[in-house]
Amino acid sequence: MLTTTPGSVIPDHPDFLWRNPDPKSSYDVVIVGGGGHGLATAYYLASRYGITNIAVLEKGWLGGGNMARNTTIIRSNYLWDESSGIYEHSLKLWEGLEEDLGYPLLFSQRGVLNLAHSLQDVRDSKRRVNANRLNGVDAEWVDAEGVKELCPIVNISPDVRYPVLGATYQPRAGIAKHDYVAWGYARAASELGVDLIQNCEVTGLTIEHGRVVGVETSRGRINAGKVALAAAGHSSVVAALAGIKLPLQSHPLQALVSELLEPVHPTVVMSNAVHVYVSQAHKGELVMGAGVDTYNGYGQRGAFHIIERQMSAAIELFPVFARAHLLRTWGGIVDVTPDASPIVGVTDIQGLYLNCGWGTGGFKGTPGVGDTFAWTIAHDEPHPLIEAFSLDRFSTGALVDEHGAAAVAH
């Protein structure tokens, strides 16, 4: 029988993606980091804010950091006003992004369930749902039966160790295909004249009279009117080149996939108490995030006992997964701030802009921060949606504490 498997065919990439130019000697804006954030920032600068003389410098291959390693969950149901503000802006951009970029992103608004397992989880969940609604974010509380309706494979038996008491549900949340997103931005930016320079590591920032004027790279000196840092897990290292100390710690975060399976899991499920977040990607593989290794690490790998624990948690919630197979594990580097919220904005050095500390929120925030960070660079002042995420909040104490908030931070 000569048939193809439904859902297993994913759209082809276009015949041409991007130019591979040699770096010019000077740009209006140099963006350090060719991940999702750097590419999106370049794209929005060029498409919305009229700056096209831009280089994106990437020390490896484009989109090869956390963009290539994350579990692609997109949602905006964060507790605090500031967080839901930026993530909801991002989600709205996601909703028009395929058209905007002219690229298939496999953006699938299949909804996200955040499970509650204790009475306190229930209280926290309802609080967040209500806050989301009043912030204009779609959200609802569903009971255990409602969870079962949305995702029939979740075990809602009261006999499990931590029974599912209900969940918050964001229907507009979902997943997208990470490489497609990075490449969509890269191709569009390249088309708009942005130079994407790979295998180009920034080794120094040149600062004269309190103003950044260029970068030193493994491919030589490049002058820059403005420099924007978007180096994710390596932000501490890059910012240190400008003498900026960041309250970041870089941790290994692991993820894994199963073999390709017939559709079984229609939505995205996350659980804080039984630490799981899982979706089934378009080709059919289960994509699952594991825990963060507690220690600092740049190794893009983690310890296996974390994977084993993850499997226990997965089967606890999804007994049907018992027979699935672990096909591949990998690690990324998450840069975590003390309040689990990002740091975005201007710095004390003129012309130097900062975007880091996204922890596990980087992928879903890509369009939102790309746009607002680009606006910030173009206007030389923080976009209103990112004002709360300034570096100086750690001195004033005005944190945006998503640790304290019960939302699963992924």
Partner 1 sequence: MTARRLATGGTIDRSVPIPFTFGGVDYTGFAGDTLASALLGAGVGAFGSSVRLGRARGIVSAGTEESSALVQVEAPFAEPMLLATTIELTPGLAARGLTGQGRLATEPDPGRYDARHAHTELLVVGAGAAGLSAALVAARAGASVILIDDDVTVGGSLLDYAETVDGQPGAVWAAAARAELDTFPRVRVLTRTTAFGIYDDGFVLAIEHRSDHVTSTRSRQRIWRIRTQQIVLATGGYERPIVFANNDLPGIMLASAAQVYLERFAVLAGETVVVFTTNDTAYGPAFALAAAGASVTVVDTRPEISAALISGCRTAGITTKSGHAVQAALGDSAVTGVQLTPWPGTTAEPPQEVTLPCDLLLVSGGWNPVLHLFSQATGRLRFDETLATFVATAAIPGVHLAGLAAAQADLAAAFAGGAEAARAALTELSAARAEPGRHRTHSSFEIPTVVSHFALHPIEQVWAIPAPTEFADPDVRFVDVQRDVTVSELLRATGAGLSAMEHVKRYTTLGTALDQGKTSGVIGSGIVAAALGIAVTALGTTTFRPPFTPVSFAVLAGADRGELFDPVRVTAIHDWHVAHGALFEDVGQWKRPWYYPLAGEDLDAAVARECTAARTTVACLDGSTLGKIDVQGPDAGAFLDMLYTNLISSLKVGSVRYGVMCSPDGMVKDDGTVIRLADDHFIVTTTTGNAASILDWMEEWLQTEWPELRVFATSVTEHFVTIPLVGPLSRQVLAILAPELDVSLAAFPFMATRAATIAGIEGRVDRISFSGELAYELNVPAWAGTALWEAVMAAGEPFGITPYGTETMHVLRAEKGYPIIGQDTDGTVSPFDLGLGWAVSQKKVDFIGKRSFARAVNDRADRKELVGLLPVDPTVAIPDGAQLVESADITFPMPMFGHVSSAYRSVALDSHFALALVKGGRARIGQRMFAWSEESLVEVTVADAVLYDSEGARKDG
Partner 2 sequence: MQLIPCPNCGRREEIEFHYGGQAHVPYPAEPAALGDAEWADYLFFRDNPKGPFAERWYHSGGCRRWFNAVRDTRSYRFLAVYQPDAPRPDIAQFMAAAPPVAADRASAASSATNAVTR
370's CB contacts (< 8 A; 6+ apart) are: 36, 37, 39, 40, 41, 43, 44, 185
CA 112, 179, 201, 207 dihedral sign is: negative
Piece of the chain touching partner 2 by CB under 8 A; list 35-43, 98-106, 241-249, 358-366: 241-249
Q: How far is CA 241 from CA 32, 62, 154, 216, 299, in A?
A: 12, 22, 48, 10, 21
Pick what 237 binds: partner 2, partner 1, none; C-beta below 5 to 8 Å, kind-dependent.
Answer: partner 2
x/- track of binding to partner 2 for residues 314-343 (CB under 8 A): ------------------------x-----
Q: How far is the CB of 409 from partner 1 (least distance, A)?
A: 13
Q: How far is the CB of 25 from partner 1 (least distance, A)?
A: 23
Which parts of 349-408 interact with partner 2 (CB under 8 A)?
394-397
Angstrom distance (rounded) from CA 250 to CA 66: 12
Q: What angle do CA 39, 46, 66 make, to 5 degrees?
A: 10
Q: How far is the CB of 153 from partner 1 (least distance, A)?
A: 8
Instruction: Name which position in 303, 315, 326, 349 contacts partner 2 (CB under 8 A).
Output: 303
Pick what 82 binds: partner 1, partner 2, none; C-beta below 5 to 8 Å, kind-dependent.
Answer: none
Piece of the chain touching partner 2 by CB under 8 A; list 61-69, 91-99, 144-152, 290-298: 290-298
CA 223, 101, 72, 341 dihedral sign is: positive
Angstrom distance (rounded) from CA 95 to CA 110: 13
Instruction: Name which position in 182, 246, 270, 369 contacts partner 2 (CB under 8 A).
Output: 246
Pick what 297 binds: partner 2, partner 1, none; C-beta below 5 to 8 Å, kind-dependent.
Answer: partner 2
Q: What angle do CA 182, 186, 191 make, to 5 degrees?
A: 155
Pick what 157 binds: partner 2, partner 1, none; C-beta below 5 to 8 Å, kind-dependent.
Answer: none
Find out whether 174 and 150 touch, Cβ atoms under 8 Å: no
Which residues of the chain form contacts with partner 2 (CB under 8 A)? Answer: 234, 236-237, 245-250, 294-300, 303-305, 338, 394-397
